[in-house]
A and B are shown apart, each in its own frame.
Chain A
Amino acid sequence: MVTLRNGYIPETLAEALKIRSENQVVPYAGGTDLMIKAQPSSYLFLNKLSALQKVEQDGDMLHIGPGCNYTMLLNHPAVPKVLKEAMIRIASPATRNRGTIGGNICNASPKADSVLILYASDAELKLSSIAGERIVPIEEFFTGRGKTILREDELLTDIRLPLKGLDDYYYYKVGARRAMAISRVAFVGLLNTENGKISRVAAAFGAISDTVLRFREFEAMLLGKTLAEATALKPAFLAKYQEAIVPIRGRVSAEYRKQVCMNLLADFLNSNGI
Chain B
Amino acid sequence: MAEMMFWEAVRRAHDEEMARDPMVICMGEDIGVAGGTYKATKGLYDKYGPERVIDTPISENGFTGLAIGASFIGVRPIVEIMSVNFAWLAMDQLFNSAAKVHYMSGGQLRAPVVVRSPGGTAHQLGAQHSARMEKVFMGIAGLRVVTPSNPRQAYGLLKSAVRCDDPVFINEHELMYNLKGEVPDEEYFMPLEGSEIAREGRDVTLFGYNISVHWALQAADVLAKHGIEAEVVDLFALNPIDREGIRQSVSKTHRAVIVEEAEPPVGVGSEVMAIINEECFFELDAPPVRVSAKNVPIPYNHKLEKAAIPSPDDVVRAVLKMFGK
The answer on A and B forming one complex is: no
Residue numbers of B with Cβ under 8 A of A are none
